[in-house]
Structures are given as C-alpha cells and as structure tokens.
Amino acid sequence: MENLIIEPSVKTPTINFYADKGILEIKGKSIPENSIEFYRPVYEWLDKYAQSPATATNIIVQLEYFNTSSSKCLLDVFRKLEILQGYGKSTVTVTWMYEEEDEDMMEAGEDYQTIVKLPFTITKMV
C-alpha cells in the first residue's frame, strides 16, 4: 500500500501516513476552507489501510491550531481507528502533542481521550 503524504499549506496540516510502519502523523494548522474535502483522502486511505494494517498503529497529532470543522474531521479519523482496533487487526495508540503553554490544545486532547476508546498519551512538545 502506498503512503499518504500531503504537503502543508498556510491553512492545512502536513499529513504523513506510513502504511508499512503504522505511523500516521498530522502536524501544523488545520483551518481549511472545506475540512471535509481536505480530509476525504485521509478517510479513503484509512479505509484501505484497515484492510491490511500494520500490527501496531500510532497516530501522532501535533497541531498548533484547528477550527471547529477540523475537530469533527479529527474525531472521524479517531473513529475509523477505533473501528480498526475493534476488529483486532491492529493495536492503535494516539500520541497527542501540544506546546507547553497551550492549555487549550492539551484540553482538546483530553476531550478526544474521553470520547473515543483509544489509548492516548498526551505530552508536551520538546
């Protein structure tokens, strides 16, 4: 399976999904004009990945900022990974990273942690 690489823009994050390593990275700002359209390739890739995932999947989220529509899209990504783990095909972990002084981003990670049934590590960026 091919990796998914989406280069960042002023309004969109870097997306690096490596199928063979089971490492999924989302970094930067997520404030696209149309979040659903931006995240559509991510959803499609995850659907394909779920057919033959790595034994362990780690999604690393390192966002500086995201808007409300992106928050829903991130939840959809987590839901897809939750289903993947539920099928027993892959052990999924989430690493949620935030800037030391950014309590809002830390709390956003905590909110997702309470919503989805995935193990979260919430950590300050070094």
> Is it the case that residue 37 has pLDDT exceeding 90?
yes
Q: Which domain holds residue 64?
A: 4-124
Per-chain mean pLDDT for the chain: 96
pLDDT, residue 87, reads: 85
When divided into structural domains, the chain yields a total of 1
Q: Which long-range contacts (CB under 8 A, 24 or more apart) does 32-35 make?
A: 32/69, 32/70, 35/67, 35/69, 35/70, 35/72, 35/73
**For position 43, which CATH number holds?**
3.30.750
pLDDT digits (tens, 9 = 90+) for 66-123: 999 999 999 999 999 999 998 888 999 999 999 999 999 999 999 999 999 999 999 9
